[in-house]
Amino acid sequence: MAILDRIDGPGDLAGLSLEECKQLAAEIREFLIAEVSKTGGHLGPNLGVVELTIALHRTFESPKDPIVFDTGHQSYVHKLLTGRKDFSRLRSSDGLAGYPQRGESEHDIVESSHASSSLSWADGISRAFARTGQPDRFVIAVVGDGALTGGMTWEALNNITDDNSRNLVIVMNDNGRSYAPTIGGMARFLNSVRVTGGYRDLQEGSERLFGRFGAPGRTVYRATRGAMRGFVSRASGNQDLYSNLDIKYVGPVDGHDLPALEEAMRQAKGYGRPTLVHVITEKGRGYAPAENDVADQFHSVGQIDPGSGEPLEVSSGRSWTGVFRQRILQLARENDRIIGITAAMLKPTGLDALAEAFPERVIDVGIAEQHAVTSAAGLAYGGMHPVVAIYATFMNRAFDQLLMDVALHRAGVTFVLDRAGITGPDGASHNGVWDLATLQVVPGIRISAPRDEERLSELLAEAVAVDDGPTVIRYPKGAVGDALPALRRTEDGTDVLREDPAREDGTRDVLLVGVGPMARVAGEAAELLAAQGVSATVIDPRWVVPVAESVVEFARGHRLLVSIEDGIRVGGIGTRIRQALRDAGVDTAVSELGTPDEFPPHASRGELLEAAGLTAERIAADVVEQVRGNRIPVARPE
Catalytic residue among 283, 419, 451, 474: 283
How far is Cα 569 from Cα 573, in angstroms, rounded to an integer? Answer: 8
* Closest to 75 measured CA to CA, from 37, 23, 38, 36: 36
Catalytic residue among 58, 177, 397, 556: 397
Q: Return binding residues for Mg(2+).
A: 145, 175
Q: Return binding residues.
A: 73, 113-115, 145-147, 175, 287, 369
Q: Return binding residues for thiamine diphosphate.
A: 73, 113-115, 146-147, 175, 287, 369
SS3 content of the chain, % helix, strand, coil (to 5): 40, 15, 45
How far is Cα 477 from Cα 490, in angstroms, rounded to an integer? Answer: 29
- The residues facing 513 across adjacent strands are 539, 563
Quick one: how far is CA 570 from the chain centroid? 22
DSSP per-residue codes, 564-626? EEEEESTTSHHHHHHHHHHHTT---EEEEEEE-SS---SS-HHHHHHHTT-SHHHHHHHHHHH
For 224, which DSSP code?
Answer: S
Q: Do residues 464 and 387 touch, judged by C-beta distance below 8 A?
A: yes
Catalytic residue among 35, 263, 282, 369: 369
Is 283 labeled as catalytic in the residue annotation? Answer: yes
* Helices 258-271, 18-39: crossing angle, 10 deg rounding: 100
Angle at 71 between CA 66 and CA 77, to 5 degrees: 65
Is 273 labeled as catalytic in the residue annotation? Answer: no
How far is Cα 292 from Cα 148, in angstroms, rounded to an integer? Answer: 25
Contacts of 267 (CB under 8 A, 6+ apart): 219, 250, 275
353: three-class secondary structure by DSSP:
helix
For 493, which DSSP code?
Answer: S
29: three-class secondary structure by DSSP:
helix
Helices (H), 254-317: 258-271, 288-291
Is 397 labeled as catalytic in the residue annotation? Answer: yes
Contacts of 71 (CB under 8 A, 6+ apart): 99, 113, 114, 115, 118, 144, 147
DSSP per-residue codes, 152-196? HHHHHHHHHTT---S-EEEEEEE-SBSSSB--SHHHHHHHHHHH-
Phi-psi region of 481 (alpha: psi -120 to 50; beta: other; left: phi over 0): left
Report the catalytic residues: 283, 369, 397
